[in-house]
Every structure is written in C-alpha cells, then in structure tokens.
Amino acid sequence: MKFFIDTANLEEIRKAKEYGLIDGVTTNPTLLAREGADWKKQMELICKEVDGPVSLEVIGLKADGMIEEARELVKYGPNVVVKIPMTMEGMKAVRHLADMGVRTNVTVCFSAAQALLAAKAGAAYISPFIGRLDHLSQRGMDLVEEIVAIYGNYDFETEVLVASIRHPLHVVEAALAGADVATVPFKVLFDLAKHPMTDLGIESFLTDWKKVFPDG
C-alpha cells in the first residue's frame, strides 16, 4: 500500500520524507490557500521536493476550463497528477486528459456509482472521502470496500486512493479493504506509530539494562 501525505505545507512534506514512508502528495485548494498567497510558487516547490505523484487540483467547473488548467498544472513537473472534481464535466475532462496522457485523480467521491464513472473515464486515481462520510453517520469504509470490489470485478486500472482520513484506524481498514493508497494528514502519519505498550516495553527493557549496566 502506498502512503501519500495530504498537505501543501513544505515543512510537513520535508519532515515526512525524512522517514522514507511517503510515496506522494495530495493537495487541494483549501490546503494550498492555507499556505499563503504565492500558490504557484508553492506548487512548484512541492513538485520539486517530491519524486512521487503530486495531486494539484483544478478550480474550474467546465470541462474546457479544467483541461486548460491541467495543461498549465502539468508544467510544474512530470509527477503532476491533475485533480478533477467528480462531476459529468469533470468526467469529460478526465477522458480528454487520459487521451492526452495526463494522469488524473478524481476527487470528492462519495458513492460507488461515481467511482465507476471515474474508472470508465480513465482516471488514474479515485479519491473516496471517508472522514466526511463518517461525520454524516455513514460508514466511509463501506464505500472503499464497494469500490475495491467493483474495480476488481472488471480489472479497472484506476487506483483507489483513500482520502479524508482522520485517524490510524482509517488507514488500517483501508489496507484491509485492499485500497491502493492512503493519503494521510501529517499528524496521522505519526499517530500510526504510537502504542502505549510499545512505550512501556522500551522503557522496561532500558530499566532492566541499566540495573546491570548503569554506565550504559
């Protein structure tokens, strides 16, 4: 399973990279807006910082506009994946971009029907937003399981990129469901490593060692 980091913050990307666990980056307009005014420079720096795929999202809602934006976005680097919203206009853009050889990530997906359309259109990734579904008392992971099953039935090449992740259990359940990618917020990446029994285990080993070898 691949791990992407869900951020537009360079410090977070650099720190996460140090651990060698990050295969790519996803951004969105909210995350980029949070980083300040020079979003173009920010996108350029992110694409240079990361070897793997970097999702950059279009703002337009019409297919022609999305395609124009995509032509500009891919100039930021060979690793750019153009994020396209899950609409019929978006699907038109995805098909066109796939035919041009541009990889796309279909975003704000909330149903298996939408995911089926995205795969038919030739998306490289589908992004089901599971945290936002959970907030509506609808189990987001059910959607991931449905998409994985449907794609498996027809050998679609579209990768399932689980998005809107809130905590480590989302990552574990996404892995159990057979999702290809989890895009994790910076904090969740570190939460994945935590367990109080691990801390206690390390502490007791060191205590025992120091009893016999107090000088280290």
**Contacts to ligand E4P by CB under 6 A:** 6, 26, 28, 107, 127, 129, 131-132, 163-164, 183
Half-sphere exposure (Cβ direction) of 82: Cα atoms closer than 13 Å: 31
Distance CA 4, CA 26 (A): 7
CB of 202 vs ligand E4P, minimal distance in Å:
32
Give the active site residue among 2, 15, 83, 211.
83
Of residues 30 and 153, the one with the C-beta less far from ligand E4P? 30
Of residues 28 and 114, the one with the C-beta less far from ligand E4P? 28
Annotated catalytic residue 83? yes
Partners of 161 in the β-ladder: 181
CB of 183 vs ligand E4P, minimal distance in Å:
5
Alpha helices in the chain (DSSP H): 10-18, 29-34, 39-49, 63-73, 88-100, 112-121, 130-134, 140-154, 168-177, 186-191, 196-212
Distance CA 76, CA 87 (A): 25
Of residues 136 and 212, the one with the C-beta less far from ligand E4P? 136
Q: Which helix (H) or strand (E) holds 182?
A: strand 181-184
CB of 176 vs ligand E4P, minimal distance in Å:
19
> What residues contact 99, with CB distance under 8 A and at least 6 apart?
122
Of residues 102 and 214, the one with the C-beta less far from ligand E4P? 102
CB of 116 vs ligand E4P, minimal distance in Å:
19
Return the DSSP state at 60.
-
Enzyme catalytic residues: 83
